[in-house]
Amino acid sequence: MPYIYSMILPILTIAPSPNRGRGVYSTETIASGTIIEIAPVIVVDNIQRTKLEETLLYDYIFEWGEDHKSAAIGLGYVSIYNHATEPNCSYDMDYEQETITIKTIKHIDIGQELFINYNAEGAEEKPVWFEMK
Protein backbone atom coordinates (compact mmCIF):
# COMPACT_ATOMS: atom_id res chain seq x y z
CA MET A 1 0.00 0.00 0.00
CA PRO A 2 1.40 3.46 -0.90
CA TYR A 3 2.17 6.05 1.75
CA ILE A 4 -0.99 7.35 3.41
CA TYR A 5 -0.97 10.88 4.75
CA SER A 6 -3.39 12.53 7.07
CA MET A 7 -4.04 16.06 8.23
CA ILE A 8 -6.50 18.23 10.10
CA LEU A 9 -6.40 21.97 9.52
CA PRO A 10 -5.45 23.68 12.81
CA ILE A 11 -8.43 26.03 12.38
CA LEU A 12 -10.86 23.25 13.33
CA THR A 13 -12.02 22.60 16.86
CA ILE A 14 -14.51 20.38 18.63
CA ALA A 15 -17.15 22.02 20.82
CA PRO A 16 -20.65 21.29 22.14
CA SER A 17 -23.32 21.23 19.44
CA PRO A 18 -26.91 22.09 20.46
CA ASN A 19 -29.01 18.90 20.72
CA ARG A 20 -26.23 16.86 19.06
CA GLY A 21 -23.51 16.28 21.62
CA ARG A 22 -20.25 17.48 20.08
CA GLY A 23 -19.51 18.92 16.66
CA VAL A 24 -16.66 20.26 14.55
CA TYR A 25 -16.38 24.07 14.26
CA SER A 26 -14.18 26.52 12.40
CA THR A 27 -12.08 29.11 14.21
CA GLU A 28 -11.45 31.04 10.95
CA THR A 29 -13.29 31.58 7.67
CA ILE A 30 -12.79 28.80 5.13
CA ALA A 31 -13.36 29.06 1.39
CA SER A 32 -15.63 26.64 -0.42
CA GLY A 33 -13.65 23.79 -1.97
CA THR A 34 -11.04 23.60 0.81
CA ILE A 35 -9.86 20.18 2.00
CA ILE A 36 -10.04 20.51 5.77
CA GLU A 37 -9.24 16.97 6.85
CA ILE A 38 -7.78 13.74 5.50
CA ALA A 39 -8.21 11.03 8.10
CA PRO A 40 -7.11 7.41 8.23
CA VAL A 41 -9.76 4.87 9.15
CA ILE A 42 -9.80 1.54 10.92
CA VAL A 43 -11.66 -0.94 8.74
CA VAL A 44 -13.58 -3.85 10.25
CA ASP A 45 -15.18 -6.75 8.40
CA ASN A 46 -18.91 -7.53 8.47
CA ILE A 47 -18.60 -9.86 11.49
CA GLN A 48 -16.80 -7.20 13.55
CA ARG A 49 -19.24 -4.59 12.26
CA THR A 50 -22.17 -6.61 13.64
CA LYS A 51 -20.52 -6.56 17.06
CA LEU A 52 -19.78 -2.81 16.84
CA GLU A 53 -23.42 -2.13 15.98
CA GLU A 54 -24.31 -3.39 19.47
CA THR A 55 -22.16 -0.69 21.09
CA LEU A 56 -22.05 3.08 21.38
CA LEU A 57 -19.61 3.10 18.45
CA TYR A 58 -22.53 2.29 16.12
CA ASP A 59 -23.29 6.02 15.91
CA TYR A 60 -19.73 6.75 14.75
CA ILE A 61 -19.01 4.16 12.06
CA PHE A 62 -19.23 4.53 8.29
CA GLU A 63 -20.38 1.81 5.91
CA TRP A 64 -17.27 0.76 4.02
CA GLY A 65 -16.37 -0.98 0.79
CA GLU A 66 -18.10 -1.25 -2.56
CA ASP A 67 -20.66 -3.66 -1.04
CA HIS A 68 -21.12 -1.55 2.14
CA LYS A 69 -20.85 -4.69 4.31
CA SER A 70 -17.71 -3.64 6.17
CA ALA A 71 -17.42 -0.60 8.40
CA ALA A 72 -14.80 2.02 9.14
CA ILE A 73 -14.08 4.04 12.23
CA GLY A 74 -12.80 7.45 11.23
CA LEU A 75 -9.85 8.74 13.16
CA GLY A 76 -9.16 12.44 13.61
CA TYR A 77 -12.38 14.45 13.71
CA VAL A 78 -14.17 12.46 10.98
CA SER A 79 -16.65 10.69 13.25
CA ILE A 80 -17.55 13.93 15.07
CA TYR A 81 -19.01 15.86 12.10
CA ASN A 82 -22.77 16.06 12.52
CA HIS A 83 -25.40 15.33 9.88
CA ALA A 84 -27.38 17.85 7.86
CA THR A 85 -29.52 17.27 4.78
CA GLU A 86 -28.03 20.47 3.36
CA PRO A 87 -24.42 20.17 4.55
CA ASN A 88 -21.58 22.64 4.18
CA CYS A 89 -18.99 19.88 3.71
CA SER A 90 -18.75 16.65 1.75
CA TYR A 91 -16.72 13.53 2.34
CA ASP A 92 -14.95 11.14 0.03
CA MET A 93 -13.96 7.60 0.97
CA ASP A 94 -10.79 6.16 -0.50
CA TYR A 95 -11.09 2.40 -0.02
CA GLU A 96 -7.59 1.69 -1.32
CA GLN A 97 -5.82 4.26 0.88
CA GLU A 98 -8.24 3.67 3.78
CA THR A 99 -8.90 7.38 4.29
CA ILE A 100 -11.83 9.77 4.40
CA THR A 101 -11.37 13.30 3.07
CA ILE A 102 -13.58 16.16 4.26
CA LYS A 103 -13.96 19.17 1.95
CA THR A 104 -16.02 22.34 2.28
CA ILE A 105 -18.75 22.79 -0.33
CA LYS A 106 -19.86 26.21 0.95
CA HIS A 107 -18.13 29.24 2.46
CA ILE A 108 -17.63 28.71 6.21
CA ASP A 109 -17.74 31.59 8.70
CA ILE A 110 -15.78 31.84 11.94
CA GLY A 111 -17.49 29.79 14.65
CA GLN A 112 -19.74 27.93 12.19
CA GLU A 113 -20.39 24.23 12.72
CA LEU A 114 -19.32 21.93 9.89
CA PHE A 115 -21.83 19.34 8.67
CA ILE A 116 -21.77 16.39 6.31
CA ASN A 117 -24.70 14.47 4.87
CA TYR A 118 -24.47 10.94 6.27
CA ASN A 119 -26.21 9.69 3.11
CA ALA A 120 -23.05 10.73 1.21
CA GLU A 121 -25.17 11.90 -1.70
CA GLY A 122 -25.21 15.68 -1.40
CA ALA A 123 -28.35 17.29 -0.06
CA GLU A 124 -30.52 14.18 -0.32
CA GLU A 125 -33.21 14.20 2.35
CA LYS A 126 -33.38 10.43 2.89
CA PRO A 127 -33.76 9.77 6.65
CA VAL A 128 -30.68 8.41 8.40
CA TRP A 129 -30.78 5.67 11.04
CA PHE A 130 -31.17 7.90 14.10
CA GLU A 131 -34.06 9.80 12.51
CA MET A 132 -36.00 6.54 12.16
CA LYS A 133 -35.81 5.62 15.88
CATH number, position 69: 2.170.270.10
Q: Please, which residues have CB within 8 angstroms of residue 47's CB and are 6 or more apart in sequence?
A: none
Q: What is the pLDDT of residues 104-130, one digit of tens each?
A: 999 999 999 999 998 865 445 665 544
φ, ψ at 51 (rounded to 5°): -70, -40
Structural domain includes residue 130: no
Structural domain includes residue 21: yes
Predicted pLDDT of residue 56: 86
Structural domain includes residue 131: no
Structural domain includes residue 54: yes
Alpha-carbon gap, residue 106 to 30, rounded angstroms: 9
Structural domain includes residue 60: yes
For the chain, the domain total comes to 1
Amino acid at 126: K
Structural domain includes residue 84: yes
114 by Cβ neighbours in 10 Å (0-12 / 13-18 / 19+) ranks as buried
Predicted pLDDT of residue 5: 74
Structural domain includes residue 129: no
The model's confidence at residue 83, banded by pLDDT at 50, 70 and 90, is: very high
Structural domain includes residue 132: no
The residue range of the domain holding 98 is 7-124
